[in-house]
């Protein structure tokens, strides 16, 4: 996601890293590069210009004696401004009605049908929602069929009336059906065309006027860059929609649409699509997205995933062991297994600040832990709980048993010792010290 833009911004911001202080000259130089990076990412020129102007004013208005170094300060200012530009806070979907009616709009191929399915699935997983999907594309029987396939896949009912040419009538019948059958959310997938045209606009605005949805969402393919922004404007002028869904962000290396759409239509991006599968949907958080764009990783999402695996009881036991210096290889193994449950390695590492960029072209093998696990499995229980006893003859035996080399065994032992030291440091109130070290 956004690899090109991230690289260019990183280069731009690098200029300031060696400088001791913010000056007009180095700020201007850096921001010229930032602006170029944004324009290359297909951000509208005026937006890019306003962006750098705001950042410049803030940078020069800063107290020189700020605790942050110029490079860090600029990264922070750019991050804050990007977050603002993308909408500040995350915006939810209005689900107040019973049923709540959600109308989907957008061009053909934008990912409307796929997203309707993703949203239905997302809401269904929230347990309190029972969605109904409605197929309202009266021109393409294949589209109706596609929605039925999606519905079947996620176990959500699909309402359709093939042969009926009146989308308003279908929508109304669907809402009545939802009321009778206890569906509390109705998601209406409408027809799209390849380009904005009057007939489509009239049709969607007729549906909009007739059924008065609680929420009207506009779906757009992020890879179309400035076109996405222009299409958003055309739809918003007619529908005054409530929010934007940016799809295909997984294939978007530039990010122009994500950055500019909010400031052009003044409507928030609510969700993003990051793949073809039904679970490839994420709530859009401007600040997390800014972090990702700046290659700062997405630590919050990483922590959330970790929390899903977190077991308080286990954590307490572990802490005691560390305090007593009794952390052994069995505990290490348990930790590894927990990490593995959090997702694929590449995915996880990509969320760590700085790591995403470094690992961009590296093929990370999810079996990377296998060697480590094999080594630990070849240790005796005594060796695992008291690694100090592992002398050279034991090392040879372990290497042989695990199909690795003595060198690899040594490496793991060394890493383990270092980890032990680090853990002690964190325990002894050194956490702050560590954080500072990491901040560099
Ligand atoms: P519609 O015509 O607007 O209903 O668009 P579809 O839902 O049929 O999507 C068009 C194509 O884009 C399909 O091949 C989808 O699988 C694909 N697609 C939709 N959303 C995403 C996404 O977030 N990422 C990727 N990579 N493909 C997507």
Q: Is residue 232 part of a domain?
A: yes
Q: Is the CB of 247 under 6 A from ligand 1?
A: yes
Q: Is residue 133 part of a domain?
A: yes
Q: Is the CB of 274 under 6 A from ligand 1?
A: yes
Closest residue by Cα to atom 26, ligand 1, is 275
Q: Is the CB of 278 under 6 A from ligand 1?
A: no
Are residues 191 and 110 located together in one domain of the fold?
yes
pTM of the full structure: 0.71
Are residues 127 and 246 located together in one domain of the fold?
yes
CATH number, domain with residue 237: 3.40.50.300
How far is the centre of ligand 1, averaged over its atoms, from the C-alpha of 231 (Å)? 17
List, as residue ranges, the binding site for GTP. Answer: 106-113, 189-193, 247-250
Are residues 50 and 198 located together in one domain of the fold?
no
CATH number, domain with residue 397: 1.10.260.30
Are residues 113 and 262 located together in one domain of the fold?
yes
Cβ contact 263:233 at 8 Å: no
> Relative to the CA of 280, which ligand 1 atom is closest?
23
Half-sphere exposure for 376 (CA within 13 Å, toward CB):
20
Tally of CB atoms within 10 A around 4: 14
How far is the centre of ligand 1, averaged over its atoms, from the C-alpha of 160 (Å)? 20
Probe target for ligand 1 pocket from 1, 110, 111, with the most ligand atoms within 8 Å of CB: 111
Closest residue by Cα to atom 20, ligand 1, is 111
How far is the centre of ligand 1, averaged over its atoms, from the C-alpha of 108 (Å)? 9
How far is the centre of ligand 1, averaged over its atoms, from the C-alpha of 119 (Å)? 13
Q: Is residue 92 part of a domain?
A: no
Task: Give the Cα separation of 159 and 188 in Å (integer).
Answer: 9
Q: Is the CB of 140 under 6 A from ligand 1?
A: no
Q: Is the CB of 248 under 6 A from ligand 1?
A: yes
Are residues 48 and 154 located together in one domain of the fold?
no
CATH number, domain with residue 28: 1.20.120.140
Q: Which domain holds residue 72?
A: 3-85
Q: Is the CB of 109 under 6 A from ligand 1?
A: yes
How far is the centre of ligand 1, averaged over its atoms, from the C-alpha of 276 (Å)? 6
Which of 234, 268, 290 is a domain's end point?
290
What is the total count of domains within the chain?
3
Residue 111 structure tokens = 């990912």
Amino acid 176: pLDDT: 97
Nearest CA-CA partner of 328 in 382, 384, 378, 381: 384
Q: Is the CB of 428 under 6 A from ligand 1?
A: no
Which of 234, 269, 290 is a domain's end point?
290
Amino acid 433: pLDDT: 46
Q: Is residue 91 part of a domain?
A: no
Q: Is residue 175 part of a domain?
A: yes
CA torsion through residues 260, 265, 266, 269, sign: negative
Are residues 175 and 210 located together in one domain of the fold?
yes
Are residues 244 and 384 located together in one domain of the fold?
no
Going residue by residue through the chain (440 aa), what tens digit of pLDDT does each one get?
777 788 888 888 877 777 777 788 888 888 998 999 899 888 888 999 999 999 998 888 765 445 567 777 788 888 899 999 999 888 889 999 899 999 999 999 999 999 999 999 999 988 889 999 999 988 888 999 999 999 999 999 999 998 899 999 999 999 999 999 999 999 999 988 888 888 889 999 999 999 999 999 999 999 998 899 999 999 999 999 999 999 998 888 788 888 999 999 999 999 999 889 898 888 999 988 888 888 766 666 666 666 666 667 777 777 777 777 778 898 888 877 777 776 666 666 666 665 555 555 556 666 767 888 899 999 999 999 999 999 999 999 999 999 999 999 999 998 888 877 777 666 554 444 444 444 43
Task: Give the Cα separation of 436 and 429 in Å (integer).
Answer: 13
**ipTM for the complex?**
0.99
Are residues 318 and 256 located together in one domain of the fold?
no
Residue 288 structure tokens = 């997390």
Q: Is the CB of 276 under 6 A from ligand 1?
A: yes
How far is the centre of ligand 1, averaged over its atoms, from the C-alpha of 221 (Å)? 8
Q: Is the peptide bond prior to 354 cis by the omega test (within 30 degrees of 0)? A: no
Amino acid 163: pLDDT: 85
Amino acid 428: pLDDT: 52
Are residues 271 and 355 located together in one domain of the fold?
no
Which of 271, 290, 309 is a domain's end point?
290
Closest residue by Cα to atom 6, ligand 1, is 111
Are residues 77 and 142 located together in one domain of the fold?
no
Are residues 356 and 401 located together in one domain of the fold?
yes
How far is the centre of ligand 1, averaged over its atoms, from the C-alpha of 274 (Å)? 10
Task: Give the Cα separation of 395 and 388 in Å (integer).
Answer: 11
Q: Is the CB of 116 under 6 A from ligand 1?
A: no
Probe target for ligand 1 pocket from 276, 278, 284, with the most ligand atoms within 8 Å of CB: 276
Q: Is residue 295 part of a domain?
A: no
Q: Is the CB of 251 under 6 A from ligand 1?
A: yes
Strand order in the sheet with 215-221: 158-159, 131-136, 185-190, 100-106, 215-221, 243-247, 269-273, 281-283
Are residues 120 and 260 located together in one domain of the fold?
yes
């Amino acid at each position: 996601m956004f690899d090109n833009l991230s690289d260019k911004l990183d280069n731009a911001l690098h200029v300031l890293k060696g400088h001791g202080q913010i000056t007009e000259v180095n700020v201007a130089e850096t921001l010229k590069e930032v602006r170029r990076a944004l324009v290359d990412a297909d951000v509208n020129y005026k937006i890019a210009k306003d962006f750098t102007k705001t950042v410049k004013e803030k940078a020069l208005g800063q107290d020189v004696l700020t605790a942050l170094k110029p490079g860090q300060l600029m990264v922070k200012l750019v991050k804050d401004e990007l977050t603002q530009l993308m909408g500040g806070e995350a915006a939810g979907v209005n689900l107040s009605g019973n049923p709540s009616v959600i109308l989907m709009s957008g061009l053909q191929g934008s990912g409307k049908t796929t997203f309707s399915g993703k949203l239905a699935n997302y809401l269904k997983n929230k347990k309190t929602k029972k969605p109904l999907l409605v197929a309202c594309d009266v021109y393409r029987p294949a589209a109706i069929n596609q929605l039925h396939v999606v519905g079947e896949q996620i176990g959500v009912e699909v309402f359709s009336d093939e042969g009926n040419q009146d989308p308003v009538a279908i929508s109304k019948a669907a809402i009545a059906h939802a009321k009778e059958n206890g569906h509390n959310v109705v998601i209406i997938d409408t027809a799209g065309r390849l380009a904005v045209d009057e007939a489509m606009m009239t049709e969607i605005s007729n549906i909009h006027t007739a059924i008065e949805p609680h929420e009207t969402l506009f779906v757009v393919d992020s890879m179309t860059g400035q076109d996405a922004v222009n299409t958003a404007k055309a739809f918003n002028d007619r529908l005054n929609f409530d929010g934007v869904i940016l799809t295909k962000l997984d294939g978007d290396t530039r990010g122009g649409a994500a950055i500019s759409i909010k400031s052009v239509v003044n409507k928030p991006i609510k969700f993003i699509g990051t793949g073809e599968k039904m679970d490839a949907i994420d709530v859009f958080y401007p600040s997390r997205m800014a972090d990702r764009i700046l290659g700062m990783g997405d630590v919050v999402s990483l922590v959330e995933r970790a929390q899903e695996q977190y077991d308080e009881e286990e954590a307490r036991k572990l802490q005691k062991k560390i305090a007593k210096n009794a952390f052994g290889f069995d505990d290490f193994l348990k930790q590894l297994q927990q990490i593995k449950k959090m997702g694929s390695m590449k995915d996880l590492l990509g969320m760590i600040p700085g790591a995403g960029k470094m690992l961009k072209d590296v093929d990370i093998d999810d079996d990377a832990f296998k060697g480590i696990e094999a080594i630990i499995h070849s240790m005796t229980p005594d060796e695992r709980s008291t690694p100090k006893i592992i002398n050279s003859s034991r090392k040879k035996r372990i290497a042989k048993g695990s199909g690795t080399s003595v060198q690899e065994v040594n490496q793991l032992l060394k890493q383990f010792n270092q980890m032990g030291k680090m853990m002690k440091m964190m325990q002894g109130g050194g956490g702050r010290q560590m954080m500072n070290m990491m901040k560099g």
